[in-house]
Amino acid sequence: EELYGVNRWGAGYFSIGENGNIKIAPNHRLPDITIDMREVVDEIIAEGIELPAVIRFHDILRSQVEIINETFSKCIEEAEYKGKYCGVFPIKVNQMREVVEEIMDAGEPYNYGLEAGSKPELMAVMAYNDNPEALTVLNGYKDKDYLTLALLGRQLKRKMIIVVEKFSELEMLIPLAKQLGVEPMIGLRSKMMVRSSGKWAGSSGDRAKFGLSIAEILNAIERLREEDMLHCAKLLHFHIGSQLSDIRKIKEAVSEGARLYAKLVQEGVELEYLDIGGGLGIDYDGTSSTTDSSRNYSTEEYVADVVWGIKQVCDLENVPHPNIVSESGRAMTAHHSCVVSNIVGEVNPSGTDFDLSATEDEHILVKNMRDLFINGAQYHPQERYNDAAGYKQSAYEAFKLGILSLKEMAKLDTMYWRILADIHTGLDEESAFIQELDELEDMLASQYLCNFSIFQSAADTWAIGQVLPIVPISRLDEKPEVRCSIADITCDSDGKLSKYIEGTEIRENIPMHKLKKDEAYHVGLFLTGAYQDVMGDMHNLFGRLTEVHVYCHDDEPGDFYIEEVVPGTSAEKVLTTMQYNTEYMAKTVKKHIDRQVRKGHLQPREGVRWTNFYEKCLAGSTYLRVD
Ligand code: PLP
């Protein structure tokens, strides 16, 4: 269990069962009700659904919504804080309709709202947040249409807050609101002075892309006062970056934001809300530390620092406690989905079979390598390693000059890899050491081919080096004997995952089990519910994966049901988005097949079969079909 750190990154939702399968406890209120991941995958396959697939555990989504709301309520009560918690889910983190619907449903008792960062997101949140008590926070750059839609929301009696990111947005909003006769709710986003750390540090500081400087905020207030609209300014907003790994930065930001809020209230701005943005991190690597893929605090600590931090400043400044808004997206969604794929093959440099038998006129380099190969025991591992590397290099030079034949090169190469594997095994047994041990392990690491595209399903692992847990979903009671990287099926050498966490260290080459001939080996890429689910691209035209939505039966322990299956993008659909006309393509290929039939190169029946096959593939999955 320690090896994959499941308990550490699993946040109580994922663990390893006694049978060696991943176990899921999706409902935080019922931690003893668990489901077996292997059984879920078996049922998916039994229903004829092809892997790879995204599995969504909707109960986890609901749990996360309940946890954040209840943690804030509890802390607010304990701190005798006078404001309320009014959380919103930023849909940019996962815009899937089913995700948004589930979050809104679970959040209804808490008046949990939504946040949008663009025009299409605004159109979605208008349709999905009709709770007049819940907030809709509107961030991102805005044009006239964006602002008009927001004013429509006010006409529908929604608490829609237009957060001014740029002074010019206010200049656009004031005349528009007057012209339409609609009173807006306005938020002011502050450019924060605190410098956050990590991969999203650019969201704060003087050079941040969004927000108003203190001078601009004061100018905005004057403008609103001039227009008799100061009472419309309701919210102060800040966001210093996603995945904040160090609690100290959060405390600092809260203190700065609360002070600014208090000073503005003292200036006569009747602000009701202080919006602390997103940033609540996820312990992806299980280290509970300040690595970019972790966090050194719990949700309770985060909430306590926010509530007590704001209270302290407001009490000192003698201003009312504002309602607290947070826009946590990553923390709401990361755990609820994972990608399950089969391993479809292995690339192993030392695994090739070749006839190594000696021939009389063999080149001396081949003879020398054979000696190293057969008489390994006579050499110290370091000497054997050095000699093998030397012969291999000389052989390469000789091959380029035409001195070594193809067959000789193939023999020498095969023996070289076997010698390296032999040295590696011997090192374990004799506890011997060679200087190039790390290099040797990297060279010998296999590549397991996984039936997905990291560009589609785990974009941040490629783009920003984020670590996501990748773990076999069963056989976890067996010691993994192989160290390997997971290569995806794109034609891109960047399409690879090789980092994993051992203890608190991030290491290369993930431990996996040896593949068995007649047994599928399934691996899960976990914590993909935030951003990864929706940010992927279509590199090599691999489209969206099939999605399976799983719910747990609370009253029947261990039981679950598949509520919905959303088919993945077909080849046809992917091609259409690239402007291909697939009907034309099918007709053209049929015409070419018919031509071969007319020429007598194909039987008519064969022609029909080929035509049908092409059409079937167009309608089929973009991923590899595993029979
Ligand atoms: N709010 C704003 C303005 C953001 O830019 C983001 C994303 O970076 C979020 C909320 C969501 O942040 P997180 O996913 O870290 O909770």
Q: CA 83, 84, 87: angle at the middle one, nearest 5?
A: 135
Residue labelled with tokens 């040295």: 423
CA separation for the pair 398, 413 (Å, rounded): 13
Question: Active-site residue among 86, 491, 552, 617?
Answer: 491
Show Cβ contacts of residue 436 under 8 Å, excluding neighbours closer than 6 positions: 385
143: how many CB neighbours lie within 10 A of its CB? 10
Is the Cβ atom of 242 under 6 angstroms away from ligand 1?
yes
CA separation for the pair 584, 134 (Å, rounded): 49
Q: CA 245, 250, 255: angle at the middle one, nearest 5?
A: 165
Is the Cβ atom of 327 under 6 angstroms away from ligand 1?
yes
488: how many CB neighbours lie within 10 A of its CB? 26
CB 404 within 8 Å of CB 412: yes
CB 522 within 8 Å of CB 51: yes
ipTM for the whole predicted complex goes beyond 0.90: yes
DSSP state of 384: H
Is the Cβ atom of 278 under 6 angstroms away from ligand 1?
yes
- The pLDDT of residue 430: 63
> How far, in Å, is the centroid of ligand 1 from the Cα of 136?
14
Is the Cβ atom of 529 under 6 angstroms away from ligand 1?
no
CA separation for the pair 557, 562 (Å, rounded): 15
- The pLDDT of residue 40: 96
Question: What interhelical angle do 247-266 and 299-317 show, nearest 10?
Answer: 30
What atom in ligand 1 is closest to the CA of residue 328? 16
Residue labelled with tokens 């096959």: 613
Encode pLDDT of 372-396 as tens digits: 999 988 998 899 999 999 999 999 9
What atom in ligand 1 is closest to the CA of residue 279? 15
> How far, in Å, is the centroid of ligand 1 from the Cα of 453?
25
- The pLDDT of residue 427: 81
> How far, in Å, is the centroid of ligand 1 from the Cα of 53?
27
> How far, in Å, is the centroid of ligand 1 from the Cα of 219?
26
> How far, in Å, is the centroid of ligand 1 from the Cα of 163?
14
Q: What is the dihedral of CA 221, 223, 226, 229, to 10 degrees?
A: -70
566: how many CB neighbours lie within 10 A of its CB? 16
Low-confidence stretches of the chain (pLDDT < 50) are 1
Is the Cβ atom of 328 under 6 angstroms away from ligand 1?
yes
Q: Is 362 exposed, middle or buried (0-12, 13-18, 19+ CB in 10 A)?
A: middle
What atom in ligand 1 is closest to the CA of residue 189? 3
CB 423 within 8 Å of CB 385: yes
Is the Cβ atom of 257 under 6 angstroms away from ligand 1?
no
CA 95 from chain center: how many Å? 14
CA separation for the pair 481, 405 (Å, rounded): 36
Give the three-class secondary structure for 139. coil
> How far, in Å, is the centroid of ligand 1 from the Cα of 56?
21
| pLDDT averaged over every residue in the chain | 93
> How far, in Å, is the centroid of ligand 1 from the Cα of 280?
9
Choice from 93, 103, 137, 297 to test ligand 1 binding pocket (greatest atom count within 8 A of CB): 93
Is the Cβ atom of 330 under 6 angstroms away from ligand 1?
yes
Q: Which residues partner with 338 through β-bridges?
A: 55
Tokens encoding 368: 């020398």
Choice from 242, 325, 532, 534 to test ligand 1 binding pocket (greatest atom count within 8 A of CB): 242
- The pLDDT of residue 626: 83
DSSP state of 569: P
Give the three-class secondary structure for 113. strand
Give the three-class secondary structure for 280. strand
- The pLDDT of residue 483: 87
Give the three-class secondary structure for 427. helix
Query: Distance from first CA to last CA of the chain, Å, rounded?
Result: 32
Cis-peptide, bond into residue 52, ω within 30° of zero: yes
Question: What interhelical angle do 144-155 and 167-180 show, nearest 10?
Answer: 50
CA separation for the pair 59, 45 (Å, rounded): 22
| Nearest Cα residue to atom 13 of ligand 1 | 278
Query: Which amino acid appears at position 170 of this protein?
Result: L
CB 521 within 8 Å of CB 343: yes
Give the three-class secondary structure for 472. strand
- The pLDDT of residue 348: 85
Tokens encoding 577: 């988005």
Encode pLDDT of 324-370 as tens digits: 999 999 999 999 999 999 999 998 888 788 999 999 899 999 999 99
Choice from 306, 330, 336 to test ligand 1 binding pocket (greatest atom count within 8 A of CB): 330
CA 482 from chain center: how many Å? 25
Is the Cβ atom of 87 under 6 angstroms away from ligand 1?
no
- The pLDDT of residue 201: 67
Q: Is the pTM of this model over 0.90?
A: yes
- The pLDDT of residue 245: 94
Is the Cβ atom of 184 under 6 angstroms away from ligand 1?
no
- The pLDDT of residue 206: 65
Tokens encoding 613: 């096959």
> How far, in Å, is the centroid of ligand 1 from the Cα of 278?
4
> Residue 451: what are its φ and ψ, rounded to 5°?
-85, 60
Which of 277, 301, 5 minimizes the C-alpha distance to 137?
277
Top CATH class of 364-443 equals: mainly alpha
Is the Cβ atom of 198 under 6 angstroms away from ligand 1?
no
Which of 139, 197, 486, 158 minimizes the C-alpha distance to 345?
486
Tokens encoding 598: 């007319």
> How far, in Å, is the centroid of ligand 1 from the Cα of 495?
27
Active site annotation includes 232: no
Tokens encoding 65: 């919504």
Choice from 92, 204, 240 to test ligand 1 binding pocket (greatest atom count within 8 A of CB): 92
Show Cβ contacts of residue 53 under 8 Å, excluding neighbours closer than 6 positions: 44, 339, 340, 545, 546, 547, 548, 568
Which of 382, 385, 379 minimizes the C-alpha distance to 416?
385
